[in-house]
């Protein structure tokens, strides 16, 4: 999963959120250098990634992008999943996405000194460009994929992603919804400190 999903799946714990956000940048047993709650977040991040990578629905979604991205198709799907989460945010949270993003920014900035250097390097850009909010639009997520293609090992094929996404949009959105609901259950079973309360769409609460 990508940034927005990991942040959402941290529940209401600020320290677990910090750990979940930096999980990709803390390798091996270096999680032991952090407080217990942040370490829980780092380990939760690893569990989420392991569950996601082995899930049949995620494998199904990868098949749409495998021709262009091969082994990197999972990274593309993670980003596409963040798009669908942002687009349908009100189905998963009673807090507006803009409010949630401001909360996340405040938490990460208040813990800035303990973030890995690579995270310290890109966090100001993520905040300034409202990256989490941008995921809600197709153009926003494609822009993120384009940036990754220019600054990482991800193949620079953002336009191909856009074409595949738009051609298979409804199927991929259905795939995400089925997968993410299962992932929420998995996370709450793994970590008792994480409680994720989805809004009751029948009452609006």
Let me know how long the chain is. Answer: 205
User: What is the per-residue pLDDT for 201?
Assistant: 57
- The pLDDT mean for the chain works out to 93
Distance CA 119, CA 96 (A): 25
**pLDDT range class, residue 200, cuts 50, 70, 90:** low
pLDDT tens for 6-16 read: 999 999 999 99
pLDDT at 1: 87
Domain ranges of the chain: 3-190
Predicted local distance difference test score (pLDDT) of residue 193: 65
Q: pLDDT (tens digit, 9 = 90+) per residue, 100-156?
A: 999 999 999 999 999 999 999 999 999 999 999 999 999 999 999 999 888 888 889
pLDDT(197) > 70: yes
Task: Report the pLDDT value the prediction gives residue 49, as an integer from 0 to 100.
Answer: 96
CA 1 to chain centre: 5
22-36, 159-173, 179-193: the lowest-pLDDT one? 179-193
How confident is the model over 78-97, as pLDDT tens digits? 999 999 999 999 999 999 99
Q: What does the block give as tokens for 176?
A: 């995400």
Residues 6+ apart with CB under 8 A from 115: 18, 22, 108, 123
Cβ partners under 8 Å of residue 76, min gap 6:
62, 65, 69, 145, 154, 161
Tokens of 121: 């390097």
Rounded to the nearest 5 degrees, what angle is found at the Cα of 3, between the Cα atoms of 46 and 98? 145
CA-wise closest residue to 80 among 194, 182, 180, 196: 180
Q: Is the pLDDT of residue 30 over 80?
A: yes
Tokens of 25: 């940048």
pLDDT exceeds 80 at position 191: no
Confidence band (pLDDT; 50, 70, 90) for 17?
A: very high
Token representation of residue 161? 């992603």
Q: How many CB atoms lie within 10 A of CB 163?
A: 12
Residues 6 or more apart whose Cβ sits within 8 Å of residue 66: 73
DSSP H or E run through 105: helix 97-110
């Amino acid at each position: 999963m990508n940034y927005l999903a990991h942040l959402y799946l941290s529940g209401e714990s600020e320290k677990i959120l910090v750990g979940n956000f930096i999980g990709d940048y803390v390798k091996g047993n270096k999680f032991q250098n952090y407080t217990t709650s942040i370490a829980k977040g780092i380990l939760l991040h690893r569990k989420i990634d392991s569950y996601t990578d082995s899930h049949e629905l995620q494998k199904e979604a990868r098949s749409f992008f495998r021709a262009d991205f091969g082994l990197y198709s999972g990274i593309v799907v993670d980003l596409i999943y963040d798009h669908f989460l942002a687009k349908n945010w009100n189905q998963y949270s009673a807090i507006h996405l803009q409010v949630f993003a401001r909360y996340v920014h405040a938490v990460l900035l208040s813990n800035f000194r303990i973030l890995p250097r690579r995270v310290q390097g890109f966090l100001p850009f993520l905040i300034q460009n409202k990256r989490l909010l941008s995921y809600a639009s197709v153009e926003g997520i494609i822009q993120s994929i384009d940036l990754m293609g220019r600054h990482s090992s991800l193949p620079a094929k953002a336009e191909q992603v856009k074409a595949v996404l738009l051609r298979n949009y409804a199927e991929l959105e259905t795939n995400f919804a089925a997968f993410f609901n299962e992932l929420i259950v998995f996370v709450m079973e793994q970590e008792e400190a994480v409680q994720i309360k989805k809004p009751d769409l029948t009452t609006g609460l």
